[in-house]
Amino acid sequence: MLIAGFPAGSWAANCYVVATGPGSECVVVDPGQDAAPGIADIVREHRLKPVAVLLTHGHIDHMWSVTPVSGTYDATAWIHPSDRHLLTDPMAGISRESAAMLLGGKYEFTEPDDVSELTDGQRLELAGLDVVVDHTPGHTEGSVAFRTPYATDGVSEVMFSGDLLFAGSIGRTDLPGGDHPSMLESLRHKVLSLPDDIVVLPGHGEQTSIGRERATNPFLLDLADEGVGDDSAARVTRGL
């Protein structure tokens, strides 16, 4: 499998290009701000053809370039229906700090021509990849994670976690559509239930694994101990 990623834009949201190998179709995960040139470089270097754009959620730092990327490659954009409104109105989910970064700019956001909606437990066959969709509300109402098999020693799957799970942290829940109890339920049922060998490619920061986070992430340790309280929300520092 070929996975190439890079941090895009002012928010350094990780964008990933995923394919079975060079010279094949591919999917793009979370094309954020100014991601199009980086995607084009990867596509050209590995002779790829994007056929789908997968969005882990509708925040502007993850979907800024979805329409130009989808249009350039005639690729279907996939998003959960609860976040679909953010494609045309991203300011509805933005923080004050992010709004200040955009102050004075002229931005217009439209839906791609081809949009399909995601459901929990859905299996997508895209670009030769088998992709499982996990609905993981908490950071936003329509947040999802994507999992796909990874045929190598010691790794059963790769998980694109968006802003659900990071190395040592989890996504913030203080933005519109965020909900801390829902985030904890998503972590409990859609993360802690997974095998330790799954590699996690998050929406921001470095890659990690389910096993590493289970053993060291304070939020997951709280959940495992059933000692989750409101104080844990104060430690959330990641995301838009």
Query: What per-residue confidence (pLDDT) applies to 233?
Result: 41
pLDDT reading at 72 higher than 80: yes
Q: Which residues contact 43 (CB under 8 A, 6 or more apart)?
A: 17, 26, 49, 50, 73
Q: 0.95 cut: is pTM over it?
A: no
Number of H helices, E strands in the chain: 7, 14
Other CB atoms within 10 A of residue 3 CB = 17
User: What is the tens place of the pLDDT at every residue in 79-132?
Assistant: 999 999 999 998 887 776 776 666 566 778 899 999 999 999 999 999 999 999
Here the tokens at position 67 are: 């329409």
Query: What per-residue confidence (pLDDT) applies to 190?
Result: 97
Q: Which domains does the chain have, with CATH numbers?
A: 2-235 (3.60.15.10)
Q: Which residues pair with 28 in a beta bridge?
A: 17, 53
Return the SS3 of 148: strand
Distance from C-alpha of 217 to C-alpha of 88, rounded to nearest angstrom: 35
pLDDT reading at 21 higher than 70: yes
Candidates 141, 75, 62; CA nearest to 109 is 62
Distance from C-alpha of 13 to C-alpha of 171, rounded to nearest angstrom: 13
Residue 108 phi/psi, 5-degree rounding, is: -135, 125
Here the tokens at position 84 are: 């679909």
Name the pLDDT band for 230 (thresholds 50, 70, 90). very low
Query: What per-residue confidence (pLDDT) applies to 237?
Result: 47
Query: What per-residue confidence (pLDDT) applies to 152?
Result: 81
Name the pLDDT band for 238 (thresholds 50, 70, 90). low
